[in-house]
Each structure stands twice: as C-alpha cells, then as structure tokens.
C-alpha cells in the first residue's frame, strides 16, 4: 500500500511540476511572441528614415542613410520590406526589396540604378551582415519566435523599469547564437536588451533599444544599438520621421517600384 501511495504521490508531483514548467514555457513563448509583434509588426505598415552608424574597434565611423518601408501581409507572418539608400555615394539611389516568409527563405532583390540592373540575391544566410554593420539581416527583420525554445528566467529591473528575463535556445543548431537572453519591458512588451552567446557560450553581441517614444500611439524604440563585444565594435541606428498605417499598397513591393522609388513615400 505504501508503495502505491508513493507512486501516486510521485506521479502527482511530477505532473504538477510538468504543468507548472510548461505553463512557464508557454508564458515565455507568449512573451516572446508579443515582444516580436510589437517590435516588428507594429501597425499594418510603416515607414522610417534611418541613420546607421558603424563604428569599428579603432573608433572610425561610417554612416549609411536610407528609408525603409514595411507592410505586414499576415500579422506575425509574411512581410514586405523596401529599402532606398541615400548615403554613402556609392550606394546612393540603390533600392533593395525583401519578401519575408518566416518558414522559408526570403526572396530578395537589389536594383543598381547605375547599370539599370535588377539582381536577385540568395538569402540562405540570414547571419550575413546588413550593409557592413553589426546587425544581421535577421536582426533587421526579426527572428521568428517559433524557431527557439523559450524559458522565463526571472523578473528583474533594467534601467529602473520592470522587465521579464527570457532565455531562448534555438530548436535546431544555429550559427547565429547558441543562447539568447532577452529583457522585455513589462509595460511596453518591447525587448530592451538582448545578449547573444556564441557556441562556446561566451557573450558575443549585445543589443539595446532605447529612446522609446509614442508614435501614432505605438511605443517605438527610435535608437537601437548592436555591440559586438568580442570584436570591440558597434553599430547604431536612429529612426526619424516614423509613420505607421500610411496605407502602403502591396504593389509597391514589386519590380516596378524597385526601379522607380515610390515618391509619395520616398523623397
């Protein structure tokens, strides 16, 4: 009898810990999903001017200026991006278009106006640097939350504000990171700090989002920074003239407008 009691008790304890643990996992995944949607899917569409600074370990600074348009086709799913470069001179007037498909490879096109050339770009490696910066293509358009297992580590404070701290581990071996710690602002549900660990489990890159401003009622971090602590270099982006829900049509993200920037949005 004692034995049966033991077994039942053990099973009950196991069941309880399992439910509690999976609830915590659900909770963590839910948090990451919400944070992803706020960060990368705000509004139905959006546009912003971007100033990107790339600072190498010697302190030398390079600047890129571009305008980015985004349209969400499916909330949390397919998205279209359009980037029009202004500076530096060798990329000025260049445009770049991405049809992002979360479960598959993105489709990417580049238009080089000096030779009137449309080039399709292979998009196998999402870890490639975005225009030579410390941001990768994946950092720019976001890593889908379903690609990682998430665990809520603790509740904490960061810069005097309450945050959730979530650990994410890729479901499949991934060269971008082996482990990621995300600090999510409890009120805004925005990721404000991310720590990326490499395969040796050493801290490699740190992302911070700041200057959170309400734009059309949407809380938007207008200053973002990615620091490569191993290489001693960093890149920052500053968003200006942000607008949401401006009615960008889907056909803007086509070859026609790749060659002819939509001047109603891109001055």
Residue numbers at the binding site for another protein (CB under 8 A): 54, 56, 60, 62-63, 87-90, 92-93, 105, 107, 114-118, 120-125, 127-129, 131-133, 233, 255-256, 260, 263-264, 267
The CA distance from 166 to 148, in Å, is 11
Give the nearest distance from C-beta 146 to another protein in angstroms: 21
Report which DSSP code applies to 17: H
Give the separation between CA 114 and CA 209, rounded to whole angstroms: 36
Cis preceding-peptide flag for 88 (omega within 30 of 0): yes
User: In the complex, what is the shortest distance from the CB of residue 161 to another protein, in angstroms, rounded to a whole number?
Assistant: 33
CB of 197: closest distance to another protein in angstroms?
A: 18
Which CB, 90 or 103, lies closer to another protein? Answer: 90
Nearer of residues 10 and 105 to another protein, judged by Cβ: 105
Backbone angles phi, psi at 139, to 5 degrees: -65, -35
Closest CA to 102 of 37, 183, 173, 38: 37
For residue 144, the tally of other CB atoms under 10 A from its CB is: 17
Rounded Cα distance between 207 and 236, Å, is 10
First and final C-alpha spacing in the chain: 81
Burial (CB < 10 A; 0-12, 13-18, 19+), residue 9, is: exposed
Comparison of 6 and 93: residue with beta carbon closer to another protein: 93
Of 133 and 208, which CB lies nearer to another protein in the complex structure?
A: 133
Q: How far is the CB of 258 from another protein (least distance, A)?
A: 12
Q: Which is nearer to another protein, 62 or 144 (CB)?
A: 62
Q: How far is the CB of 231 from another protein (least distance, A)?
A: 9
Closer to another protein by Cβ: residue 1 or 114: 114
Least distance in angstroms from the C-beta of 114 to another protein: 4
**Nearest one of 101, 107, 35, 52 to 72, comparing CA atoms:** 101
Residue 217 C-beta: closest distance to another protein, Å? 28
CA distance 157 to 164: 8
C-alpha 188, offset from chain centre: 16
**Is the CB of 166 or the CB of 258 nearer to another protein?**
258
């Amino acid at each position: 009898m004692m034995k049966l009691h033991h077994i039942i008790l053990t099973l009950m304890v196991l069941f309880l810990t399992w439910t509690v643990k999976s609830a915590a996992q659900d909770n963590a995944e839910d948090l990451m999903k919400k944070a992803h949607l706020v960060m990368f899917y705000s509004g139905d569409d959006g546009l912003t001017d971007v100033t990107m600074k790339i600072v190498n370990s010697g302190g030398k600074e390079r600047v890129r200026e571009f305008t980015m348009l985004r349209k969400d086709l499916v909330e949390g799913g397919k998205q279209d991006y359009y980037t029009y470069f202004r500076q530096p001179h060798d990329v000025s007037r260049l445009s770049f278009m991405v049809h992002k498909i979360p479960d598959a490879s993105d489709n990417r096109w580049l238009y080089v106006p000096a030779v009137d050339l449309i080039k399709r770009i292979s998009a196998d490696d999402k870890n490639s640097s975005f225009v030579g910066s410390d941001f990768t293509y994946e950092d720019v358009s976001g890593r889908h939350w379903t690609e990682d297992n998430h665990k809520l580590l603790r509740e904490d404070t960061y810069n005097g504000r309450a945050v959730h701290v979530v650990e994410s581990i890729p479901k499949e071996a991934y060269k971008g990171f082996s482990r990621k710690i995300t600090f999510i602002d409890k009120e805004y549900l925005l990721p404000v700090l991310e720590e990326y660990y490499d395969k040796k489990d050493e801290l490699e890159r740190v992302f911070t989002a700041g200057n959170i401003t309400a734009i059309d009622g949407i809380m938007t971090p207008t200053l973002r920074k990615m620091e490569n602590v191993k290489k001693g270099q960093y890149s920052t982006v500053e968003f200006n003239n942000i607008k949401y829900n401006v009615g960008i049509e889907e056909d803007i993200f086509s070859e026609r407008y790749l060659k002819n920037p939509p001047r109603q949005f891109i001055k």
